[in-house]
């Protein structure tokens, strides 16, 4: 079964036998698709497999290979549909997405901004209540964007120690923030 034509025949036979099952699989896993669209997806995957598969390399499990290809195609199409939905809110003249603009405007509400700034100040003040090593790990990883690997190399401290230090620092920061918020109320 290693020859080129035998692999092709095997793949062709598989699609001939399993065509209805493949279409049903697409319909079950992508509920918004109709029968014709499901058939188009199966045919598109079949065409890709026939044109892109290296028939000199044997396919170990043809059944799994084809179904995985279908699943990947469904995932790709689902992502594309999600992107298309955002494009539906695009203003043709300005090119601005008015749905996103509306969301940004709602977030930018002045009252919310003031509340956000107060919370940020409280957090920075609370951060100063931590030990210096705890402050350093939070600032380095959360504000300065260092990875634990970079910090480990720079400080010559094992990554596990840094992870533990950050975990304890975050837990203490949360506890202090809750106490400080309660005292403000």
Is 70 exceeded by the pLDDT of residue 102? no
Whole-number CA gyration radius for the chain: 28
What's the pLDDT score for residue 68? 86
pLDDT in tens, 114-166: 777 787 788 888 888 888 888 888 888 887 788 889 888 888 889 889 899 88
The pTM assigned to this predicted structure is 0.41
Rounded CA separation 119/122 (Å): 5
**5-to-18, 32, 50, 52, 132 alpha-carbon distances in Å:** 20, 37, 12, 15, 70
Rounded CA separation 121/126 (Å): 8
What's the pLDDT score for residue 74? 80
Share of the chain above pLDDT 70, in %: 74
What is the CB neighbour count within 10 angstroms for residue 113?
11
Rounded CA separation 181/87 (Å): 41
Domains of the chain: 4-87 (1.10.1740), 108-184 (1.10.10.10)
pLDDT in tens, 46-67: 888 877 766 667 677 878 888 8
Residue 4 binned pLDDT confidence (cut-offs 50, 70, 90): low
Q: Is-contact 169 138, C-beta < 8 A?
A: yes
Rounded CA separation 106/159 (Å): 41
């Amino acid at each position: 079964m290693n020859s080129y034509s035998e692999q092709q025949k095997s793949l062709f036979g598989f699609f001939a036998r399993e065509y209805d099952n493949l279409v049903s699989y697409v319909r079950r896993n992508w509920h918004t698709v109709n029968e014709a669209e499901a058939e188009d997806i199966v045919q598109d995957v079949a065409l890709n497999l026939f044109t892109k598969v290296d028939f000199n390399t044997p396919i170990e499990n043809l059944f799994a290979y084809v179904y995985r290809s279908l699943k990947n195609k469904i995932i790709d199409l689902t992502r594309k549909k999600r992107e298309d939905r955002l494009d539906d809110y695009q203003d043709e003249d300005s090119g601005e997405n008015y749905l996103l603009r509306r969301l940004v405007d709602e977030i930018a509400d002045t009252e919310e901004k003031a509340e956000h700034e107060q919370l940020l100040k409280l957090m920075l003040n609370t951060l100063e209540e931590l030990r210096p090593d705890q402050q350093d790990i939070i600032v380095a990883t959360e504000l300065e964007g260092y990875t634990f690997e970079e910090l480990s190399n720079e400080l010559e401290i094992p990554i596990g120690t840094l992870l533990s230090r950050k975990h304890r620092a975050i837990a203490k920061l949360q506890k202090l923030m809750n106490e400080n918020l309660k005292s403000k109320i």
